[in-house]
């Protein structure tokens, strides 16, 4: 029986020679074409032609058994072919943006403080706030102001000289909440004049609306990394404010302290591009040292509605701070920092040590864009004390940090009072998830 000749997968010498000649002919054509068509600019690298021919020959002589067919999404079992490169995917991290914020309690520049700052050359409110400069070092520094400033109107416990705004700005404040019961004591015109004055000193006011049109505008502040929205809600006005305004005016000036209204405006703030939403609440009983069950329930509802920070005002006494877990509509969880009350930053009343003890709340947070999550990286506080005494024979007021060495003008008796106020602050925040800043 005739022996069958085994077939090989290699190429004969003649085939190789034929392929080589074909490559040379092609190369020659490429070199001749530019000379045949003078209007065509074509540059040919002879080295590249050689590489191309060599590549053709390499592919021709590779045996079929050396080729590995790859299934879709499969990892090759052999090394990649010559001339290819493998690139490992580089993991990319979602950008995380940061923000620092300092919030303080209420400022009340009443007639006693106004008188103490009056001199032969006018008002000098700067020294009252000068010792706070070290405390207001965040990207956003916020206070609640329980005053108006209306030129050509009688000065009262509510209506103060505009010079005080300059001093507040100079100590580092850049955002001012105007949600307080006396916001309409000088009518809508007085409120509008105050808001204009605050803006004139380079600060951003929020919480009350001088026109029906402005009520639909969300107050935001753009930091280098994030957009922050500021909202404020209240359900009461002073007797003077009620007399000075109509029901129609009151309806657009203040945002009611109800959960549906708050939730609606938080949604509007998010639609306006805010990654962080701060909600101020003028609530609670004056002098109360702790929130009520109703306040806690409302705070949880506001957290569920998507607020990031809740700042309570009006009680005039420092209250606990909590971090609430909010449940979003889509079922995800997020954290909400709730300060039920930061007390008073400036107050002339000396009858109650709680009224002259307050705190600056410092928050460092980070926002993960991909996860749409805000995290509180650090929460600290600076205890404050309102000092009153004599300087050059005249009654003066100073807001001091109570956990640092007192200035020389503070005598021994006043140092003891400051120490007692410091203890009040520490006791009020003992069970809160905050640490004291040094």
Q: pLDDT band for 384, please (50, 70, 90 cuts).
A: very high
* Confidence at residue 60, expressed as pLDDT on a 0 to 100 scale: 41
Over range 387-408, report the average pLDDT: 96
- Looking up tokens 């909440």, which residue turns up? 177
SS3 95: coil
d(CA 159, CA 421): 28
Spatial contact of 203 and 175, defined as CB atoms under 8 Å apart:
yes
Spatial contact of 231 and 265, defined as CB atoms under 8 Å apart:
yes
Handedness of CA 47, 49, 52, 56 (dihedral sign): negative
d(CA 193, CA 187): 10
Spatial contact of 354 and 424, defined as CB atoms under 8 Å apart:
yes
Over range 356-384, report the average pLDDT: 96
Domain edges within the chain: 13-64, 96-436
What pLDDT digit, counting tens, does each position of 41-92 carry? 333 444 444 434 444 444 443 333 333 333 333 333 333 343 334 444 555 5
SS3 21: helix
Q: pLDDT band for 22, please (50, 70, 90 cuts).
A: low
Q: Which residues sit opposite 327 in a β-bridge?
A: 333
DSSP 139-203: SEEEEEE--B--TTS---SSB--THHHHHHHHTT--EEE--STTTTTTHHHHHHHHHHHHHHTT-
* Confidence at residue 82, expressed as pLDDT on a 0 to 100 scale: 36
What pLDDT digit, counting tens, does each position of 153-183 carry? 999 999 999 999 999 999 999 999 999 999 9
What pLDDT digit, counting tens, does each position of 100-119 carry? 999 999 999 999 999 999 99
Flag whether pLDDT at 5 surpasses 70.
no
What pLDDT digit, counting tens, does each position of 228-274 carry? 999 999 999 999 999 999 999 999 999 999 999 999 999 999 999 99
* Confidence at residue 23, expressed as pLDDT on a 0 to 100 scale: 52
Higher-pLDDT residue of 6 and 97 is 97
- Residue 166 is encoded by which pair of tokens? 């300059």
User: How buried is 139 (Cβ within 10 angstroms: 0-12 exposed, 13-18 middle, 19+ buried)?
Assistant: middle
Instruction: Please give the model's pTM, rounded to 2 decimal places.
Output: 0.79
- Looking up tokens 């969300």, which residue turns up? 218
Query: Domain 96-436, what fold?
Result: Purple Acid Phosphatase; chain A, domain 2 (3.60.21)
Query: Of 403, 405, 404, 402, nearest to 385 (Cα)?
Result: 402
* Confidence at residue 93, expressed as pLDDT on a 0 to 100 scale: 53
Spatial contact of 384 and 360, defined as CB atoms under 8 Å apart:
yes
What pLDDT digit, counting tens, does each position of 325-364 carry? 998 878 889 999 999 999 999 999 888 999 999 999 999 9
d(CA 337, CA 340): 10
């Amino acid at each position: 029986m005739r022996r069958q000749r085994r077939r090989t997968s290699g190429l004969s010498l003649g085939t190789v020679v034929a392929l080589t000649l074909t490559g040379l002919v092609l190369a020659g054509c490429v070199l001749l074409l530019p000379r045949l068509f003078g209007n065509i600019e074509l540059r040919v690298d002879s080295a590249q032609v050689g590489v191309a021919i060599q590549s053709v020959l390499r592919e021709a002589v590779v045996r079929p058994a050396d080729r590995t067919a790859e299934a879709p999404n499969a990892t090759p079992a052999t090394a990649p072919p010559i001339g290819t490169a493998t690139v490992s995917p580089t993991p990319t991290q979602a950008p995380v943006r940061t923000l620092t914020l300092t919030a303080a309690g209420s400022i009340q520049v009443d007639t006693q403080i106004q008188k103490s700052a009056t001199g032969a050359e006018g008002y000098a409110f700067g020294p009252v706030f000068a010792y706070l400069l070290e405390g207001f070092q965040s990207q956003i520094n916020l206070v609640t102001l329980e005053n108006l400033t209306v030129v050509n109107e009688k000065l009262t416990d509510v209506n103060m000289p505009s010079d005080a705004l300059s001093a507040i700005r100079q100590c580092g404040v850049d955002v001012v909440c105007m949600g307080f019961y006396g916001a309409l004591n000088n009518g809508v015109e007085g409120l509008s004049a105050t808001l204009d004055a605050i803006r004139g000193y380079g600060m951003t006011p929020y919480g009350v609306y001088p026109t029906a049109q402005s009520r639909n505008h969300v107050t935001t502040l753009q930091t280098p990394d994030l957009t922050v929205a500021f909202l404020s809600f209240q359900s009461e006005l002073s007797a003077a404010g009620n007399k000075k305004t109509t029901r129609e005016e009151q309806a657009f000036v203040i945002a009611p302290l109800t959960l549906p209204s708050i939730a609606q405006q938080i949604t509007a703030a998010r639609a306006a591009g805010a990654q962080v939403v701060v909600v101020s609440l003028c609530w609670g009983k004056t002098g109360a040292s702790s929130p009520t069950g109703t306040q806690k329930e409302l705070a949880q509802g506001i957290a569920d509605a998507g607020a990031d920070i809740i700042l309570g005002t009006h009680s005039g006494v420092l209250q606990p701070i909590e971090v609430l877990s909010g449940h979003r509509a889509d079922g995800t969880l997020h954290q909400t920092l709730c300060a039920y009350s930061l007390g008073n930053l400036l107050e002339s009343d000396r009858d109650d040590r709680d009224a002259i003890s307050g705190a600056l709340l410092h928050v460092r947070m980070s926002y993960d864009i991909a996860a749409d999550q805000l995290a509180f990286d650090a929460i600290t506080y600076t205890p404050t004390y309102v000092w009153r005494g004599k300087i050059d024979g005249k009654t003066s007021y100073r807001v001091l940090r109570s956990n640092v060495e007192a200035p020389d003008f503070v005598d021994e008796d006043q140092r003891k009072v400051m120490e007692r106020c410091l203890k009040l602050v520490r006791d009020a925040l003992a069970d809160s998830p905050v640490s004291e800043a040094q």
